[in-house]
Structure 1
Amino acid sequence: MEGPVEVVVDDGAVFVSQRFTVAICTCRRSRNYPWCDTSHRRRTKPQTDHAPPPASDSEA
């Protein structure tokens, strides 16, 4: 979006930016919400079990 920009969020709070270009956060991870701070780029490791399969008794 190009500024100046006024954003009204769900709870009715109004945020104003005088910057020429702004990015609106849609992931809600931004520490500067409703403005995007690229927090969506940080990823967490997926919760997967990477344990090796159990050895069978027939292997010898």
Structure 2
Amino acid sequence: MSVDPEGPVLVEGPVEIVLADGTVARSDRFMVAVCTCRRSRTYPWCDTSHRRRERADPPQPEDRTP
């Protein structure tokens, strides 16, 4: 198992996770990223929603002097 403070918990699979409502999420993958931030749309699996989204600066108009 590997824990990244800025991201998911990586667990060697296969993995079964019992959710709060009693349902069981299963993955047969050899390595599974489990979401810890709860931002994932595929919770309990990580979809990298924890990554900060940065907007690129809008292009600046060129300074054209006649």
Give runs of aligned pairs for residues 1-60 of structure 1, distance below 5 A: 1-43=11-53
Calculate the TM-score normalised by the size of structure 1. 0.66
Unaligned runs of 5+ in 1: 45-60
Secondary structure class of the residue paired with 1:28: coil
- Structure 2's unaligned 5+ residue stretches are 1-10, 55-66
Q: Which residue of 1 aligns with 2:7?
A: none
Q: Which runs of 4+ in 1 moved over 6 A?
A: none
**1:23 partner SS:** strand
More helix by proportion, 1 or 2? Answer: 1
Q: Which has the larger radius of gyration?
A: 1
Larger RCO (CA under 8 A, 6+ residues apart): 2
How many residues were matched structurally?
A: 45
Q: Greater share of strand residues, 1 or 2?
A: 2
CA RMSD of aligned residues (A): 1.8
